[in-house]
Amino acid sequence: MKIAVEEGQAKALLPDGTQQATITSIDEGSSEHKGIPFFAVRFENDNGYVSHRFYQSPAGMPAIVSLFEMAGIEVKEGKELDTKQLIGKTMTIDVGDRSYNDPETGNERTLKQAVNFLVS
């Protein structure tokens, strides 16, 4: 089997702590358990990358609003936000682990994620 390694795929996960990173890509999907729409942001710098999912749900909206505001994109009631506007934005993020119980198996899972977005 031949496996092509595309640009950026050979990078390691960013280490924990404060990182300055650029949003290099955004993928869309829906959660495996409840089908909630999300967009996954890839934050990247020379040391590696981290991806973070932003869920379009009442509980997820504060994080989405914060991300856009920190990227310098105005958020107003009644206005639609376009994730394409985030590509190329550089921010300071905190990278760390978050643990949760998988709703299907009950097993604990740990994800590396970005939080506390600050525009650079």
Give residue-wise pLDDT tens across range 57-100.
Answer: 998 899 999 999 989 999 999 999 999 999 999 999 999 877 66
Gap between the Cα atoms of 117 and 113, Å rounded = 11
Between 19-23, 44-48, 95-99, 107-111, the lowest mean confidence (pLDDT) is in: 107-111
Q: How confident is the model at residue 46 (pLDDT cuts 50, 70, 90)?
A: very high
Q: Enter the pTM of the model.
A: 0.78
- What are the phi and psi torsion angles at 67 (to 5°)? -60, -50
Give residue-wise pLDDT tens across range 30-44.
Answer: 988 789 999 999 999
